[in-house]
Amino acid sequence: MLPINETHDPRLRSFVDAANAPEADFPIQNLPFGVIRRAGSKEEWRGAVAIGDQALDLSAVAKLHLLSGPAAQAIQAAAEPTLNRFMDMGRDAHGALRAALSRLLAEGSPHEGVLRGCLVPLADIEHAVPARIGDYTDFYASIHHATNVGRLFRPDNPLLPNYRWVPIGYHGRASSIRVSGQRFSRPMGQVCGAGHTVPALQPSRRLDYELELGLFIGSGNALGAPIPIESAEEHIFGLCLLNDWSARDLQAWEYQPLGPFLAKNFATTISPWIVTWEALAPFRVPFQRADGEPEPLPYLTSLANTVAGALDLTLDVAIETEAMRASGQSPERLTRVRLPEAMYWTLPQLVTHHTVNGCNLAAGDLLGSGTLSGPSPGSQGALLELTEGGKKPITLGNGELRTFLEDGDAVIFTAWAERDGFRRIGFGECRGEVLPAPVGVSGAHA
């Protein structure tokens, strides 16, 4: 487990004033990585870290030759148009660069003058997907979500017997992953409505979001060489927010017997900044399950995972309808959930289970947690649960009703970690917006 070090010191302040605000997502204790360029430009994409309301251009910093040793090698990789090579260098390199950047950006830094020329306002940049994602796997790690969804279809036996023993997952589609700000067309697909025996091709009428965390792999493993639970954290680069948009009506028709397909592969949105695993070290908490739940099998168990395998994060979901935007109304919160209450498995356990059969992970691969739902009302991570399968519409503050998403709806995820004695750090925003279905494709409505 990564130790708490000088970069986590709550007394640290940056010469970037906005980073010192108590509610800042990107204080100097965070320093998440992303890939940027100035909005609307044809500049080369390059790596950056977020600090307050600015992005530090790592390509520009690298050209100043202020660093030496492992940090100097790491910044060259982190300045590239994707973070894959930097991710693959391993956590010693990640830590060396993060520590060096922390010192450079600190209040009183002797390099403040030249570094100010390497800052670009966050309001003036656009983002690329921060890594070349070779593979994407989505898990199902929240027992409350699994139970809530199972109850809609199997009221007497909502949770399948394997759930408590095996981290369930499926292989998703990497090509449709985009960063926050993604706007996508309502998906088309086959739907077979109640009372019908013949399906029809039509736009989804039950479009949903899924509140998730995304885990980026750092250094990978060789084919045939499983990652033991004791070393799983060495392969985690960092986390982002992830919205695994889902067309529930397409899903209901197609998912048997092989699972999700067109209902999931049309769009996935991630937040653009990756919060490093090291930055989250102060927010580790014990991995605990409710009384009566079985202990994981030995290959998924370690002392470190039991003592501090979980993360104490808070995650929010908000909706902004077209009518809200037109009237200048702020987005309305639908959900708030605490991660320790939602996750039945830890993130290191997901990495270990993914590789126990010899599967090889590579730098930049993305793992999704699955929808994160808590045990209490208002902590469900999808409309499918909040509306009990569409039976109980939500009334928004402006009087609009929602069972599932309408055209023009935007969904915004935010998350943060806070603990007494440490600086709050955040993830920024993961936002996506639903556009109307494409024209010219039709079928009889089911």
Catalytic residues: 145
- pTM (2 d.p.): 0.97
Which pLDDT value is given to residue 441? 61
Secondary structure of 114-150 in HEC code, one letter for each residue = HHHCCEEEHHHEEEECCCCCCCEEEECCEHHHHHHHH
Residue written as tokens 């060495």?
A: 234
Q: Concatenated DSSP letters for 137-185?
A: EEE--BHHHHHHHHHHH-TT--S-TTTTTS--EEE--STTEEETTEEEE
String of DSSP letters for 365-383: -EEE------SSTT--SSH
CB neighbour burial string for 151-185, b if at least 16 within 10 angstroms, e if fewer: beeeeeeeeeeebeeebbbbebbbebbbbbebebe
Torsion angle of C-alpha atoms 293, 380, 271, 93, degrees rounded to 10: -20
Mean per-residue pLDDT pooled into runs of 10, the chain (446 residues): 93 98 98 98 98 98 98 98 98 98 98 98 98 98 95 89 96 97 98 91 97 98 98 98 98 90 97 98 96 96 97 98 98 98 98 98 98 97 97 97 98 98 98 93 51
Q: Residue 333: what pLDDT?
A: 98
Cα–Cα dist 353/236, whole Å = 14
Q: Return the domain boundaries, the chain.
A: 6-128, 136-435
User: Rounded distance, CA 260 to CA 262, Å?
Assistant: 7
Question: Measured between alpha carbons, how far apart are the two ends of the chain, in Å?
Answer: 53
Pairing of strands 119-121, 211-217: unpaired
How far apart are the C-alpha atoms of 375 and 200, rounded to whole Å?
Answer: 37
Q: Which CATH number fits domain 6-128: 3.30.479.10, 1.10.10.10, 2.30.30.230, 3.30.420.40?
A: 2.30.30.230
Q: What is the pLDDT of residue 446?
A: 43
- Asked whether the beta carbons of 268 and 260 are under 8 A apart, the reply is no
pLDDT at 445: 44
Do 6-128 and 136-435 show the same overall fold? no
**Looking at residue 205, what DSSP letter applies?**
S
Does the domain formed by 136-435 have CATH 3.30.300.30?
no
Supply the pLDDT for residue 1. Answer: 74
